């Protein structure tokens, strides 16, 4: 019996028994099943998988319904796979099979939309449908296009309106026709009154240019960037979506060469010169502020300019983006830690605790951070979610007498500050794809996760288990972690 069939039997049995808790658990762990191994194989198993997912899509429990939705599209992506390299006959057969499958999913998806009554869900669905078809080199499916059009005649007046239908045209149709045929309408939509219509048009424009690569389009990218920038400064909301395809591909060198600019300089120009704040462009794409906080993360000069210009929250996001000590950012973090805004103060002080082994005086005064000695030889920094040392969130141990701790010493700290009974049983780490509970090695860190919400990290020499830092983070109930016994112990 294959792993695929074992998983299906579990899902089907749980569904028949109406064991919703187990179904939720099984769906949450469905990513362990390597579905790509069954591509173009086991048609009866795929049929059973789609049957159970479409049934669960209509579940009254949102977590089950949303997980079923997520895996439904993964299954659509993987059942047949790409037609690239296939013979003409095989390609036609795969496309016919894929189209049939897509059409069969529409009634359940329609019920899901009716249940959710969410315009965001509708727009995400259009993206999902277009992406699934493109993965199969499949042109827009006539039945799918008609189904979308017919939704406005059904019970969807709250989510399907003239603006959302324009977005359908942009995403499902204009993005998949030749540039010369799509360009004029896309440029026109950049000036539309609706924020998301503008954003989706900009994202599709960016995608055209990104896919063209060095071949280029007319007008060339540097001219299009000038147009996008001028429009963005007057009315923000399109530069981020336009840039998003380049950022997703992580190939900024191509972007910079074709656009004739440095990305950091371009982002700062927009942020400092724009006439208004950036609108929310989700679910289309992230905005310029999001990209800026990642791209400017090591640029102390630009982060300082953001502070001077009053954009302290963005400056904070950039200064705390990278979880390591960056000497040039230390004075900036110290400045932000003195800010009157409690959130800015707290997050700057936490970052100094995590990465610089520094107790910020203002953070300590307000009760966001605390330093105590452990075993009279190591420093422990404790970060609190609220003022006055309430709701502890994390604790970081730094060895002092020597520059490392052995594994026994590290676990002694963990067990002392957060006893095993409070942590609960060990579970697979959420950042890994491991099926079994245990340590997850990620670079120079050994990571552990526990049932009750505790995360433990050992950083240093993983091979020899010599640790330069041990961190405990608590994601459970804020009132459970009581540090009074730890304080009393360390005062003795």
Q: Over the stretch 297-338, which tens digit does the pLDDT of each residue have?
A: 999 999 999 999 999 999 999 999 999 999 999 999 999 999
- Cβ distance 170 to 204 under 8 Å? yes
Q: Does pLDDT of 6 surpass 90?
A: yes
Residue 263, in any domain of the structure: no
Residue 383, in any domain of the structure: yes
pLDDT-based confidence at 262, cuts 50/70/90? Answer: very high
pLDDT-based confidence at 403, cuts 50/70/90? Answer: confident
CATH number at residue 19: 1.25.10
Residue 329, in any domain of the structure: no
pLDDT digits (tens, 9 = 90+) for 199-251: 999 999 999 999 988 777 999 999 999 999 999 999 999 999 999 999 988 77
pTM: 0.89
Q: What is the pLDDT of residue 94?
A: 84
- Greater confidence (160 vs 55) lies with 55
Q: Does pLDDT of 492 surpass 60?
A: no
pLDDT digits (tens, 9 = 90+) for 408-423: 999 999 999 999 999 9
**The domain boundary residue, chosen from 225, 246, 267:** 246
pLDDT digits (tens, 9 = 90+) for 47-84: 999 999 999 999 999 999 999 999 999 999 999 866 66
Q: What is the pLDDT of residue 152?
A: 77
Residue 320, in any domain of the structure: no
**The domain boundary residue, chosen from 193, 222, 246:** 246
Total tally of structural domains belonging to the chain: 2
Q: What is the pLDDT of residue 433?
A: 78
Q: Does pLDDT of 382 surpass 60?
A: yes
Q: What is the pLDDT of residue 477?
A: 84
Are 242 and 376 part of one and the same domain? no
Which residues constitute the domain of residue 450?
A: 367-492
Residue 75, in any domain of the structure: yes
Q: What is the pLDDT of residue 103?
A: 96
Question: Region 113-139: what's the mean pLDDT?
Answer: 92
Q: What is the pLDDT of residue 460?
A: 96
Q: What is the pLDDT of residue 86?
A: 65
Residue 324, Cβ neighbours under 10 Å: how many? 8
Residue 199, in any domain of the structure: yes
**The domain boundary residue, chosen from 226, 246, 266:** 246
Q: What is the pLDDT of residue 372?
A: 93
Q: What is the pLDDT of residue 89?
A: 67
Residue 128, in any domain of the structure: yes
Residue 156, in any domain of the structure: yes
Q: What is the pLDDT of residue 1?
A: 86
pLDDT digits (tens, 9 = 90+) for 138-153: 999 999 999 998 887 7
């Amino acid at each position: 019996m294959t792993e695929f069939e074992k998983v299906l039997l579990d899902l089907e049995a749980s569904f028949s028994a109406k064991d919703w808790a187990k179904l939720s658990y099984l769906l949450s762990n469905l990513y362990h099943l390597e579905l790509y191994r069954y591509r173009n194989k086991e048609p009866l198993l795929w049929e059973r998988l789609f049957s159970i997912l479409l049934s669960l899509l209509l579940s009254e429990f949102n977590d089950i319904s949303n997980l079923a939705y997520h895996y439904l599209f993964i299954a659509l992506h993987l059942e047949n796979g790409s037609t690239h390299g296939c013979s003409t006959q095989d390609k036609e057969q795969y496309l016919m099979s894929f189209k049939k499958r897509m059409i069969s999913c529409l009634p359940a998806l329609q019920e899901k939309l009716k249940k959710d009554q969410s315009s965001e869900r509708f727009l995400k669905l259009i993206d999902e449908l277009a992406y699934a078809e493109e993965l199969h080199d499949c042109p827009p499916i006539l039945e799918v296009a008609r189904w979308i059009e017919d939704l406005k005649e059904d019970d969807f007046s709250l989510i399907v309106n003239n603006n959302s239908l324009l977005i359908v045209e942009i995403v499902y149709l204009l993005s998949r026709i030749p540039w010369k045929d799509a360009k004029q309408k896309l440029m026109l939509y950049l000036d539309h009154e609706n924020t998301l219509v503008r954003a989706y048009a900009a994202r599709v424009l960016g995608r055209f240019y990104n896919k063209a690569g060095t071949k280029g389009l007319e007008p060339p990218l540097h001219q299009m960037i000038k147009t996008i920038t001028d429009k963005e400064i007057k009315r923000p909301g399109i530069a981020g979506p336009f840039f998003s395809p380049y950022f997703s591909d992580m190939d900024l060198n191509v972007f910079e060469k074709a656009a004739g600019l440095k990305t950091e300089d371009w982002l700062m120009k927009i942020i400092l010169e724009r006439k208004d704040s950036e609108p929310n462009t989700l679910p289309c794409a992230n905005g310029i502020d999001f990209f800026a906080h990642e791209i400017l993360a090591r640029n102390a000069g630009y982060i300082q300019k953001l502070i001077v210009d009053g954009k302290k929250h963005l400056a904070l996001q950039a200064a705390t983006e990278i979880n390591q000590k960056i000497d040039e950012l230390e004075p900036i973090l110290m400045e932000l830690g003195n800010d009157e805004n409690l959130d800015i103060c707290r997050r700057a002080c936490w970052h100094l605790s995590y990465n610089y082994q520094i107790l910020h005086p203002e953070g300590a005064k307000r009760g966001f951070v605390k330093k105590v000695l452990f075993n009279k030889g190591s420093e422990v920094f404790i970060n609190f979610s609220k003022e006055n040392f309430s709701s502890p969130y994390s604790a970081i141990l730094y060895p002092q007498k020597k520059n490392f701790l052995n594994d026994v010493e590290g676990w002694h700290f963990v067990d002392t500050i957060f006893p095993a009974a409070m942590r609960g049983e060990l579970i697979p780490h959420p950042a890994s794809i491991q099926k079994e509970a245990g340590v997850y090695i990620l670079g120079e860190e050994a990571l552990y996760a526990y049932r009750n919400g505790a995360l433990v990290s050992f950083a240093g020499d993983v091979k020899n288990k010599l640790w330069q830092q041990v961190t405990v983070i608590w994601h459970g109930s804020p009132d459970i972690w009581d540090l009074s016994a730890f304080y009393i112990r360390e005062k003795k």
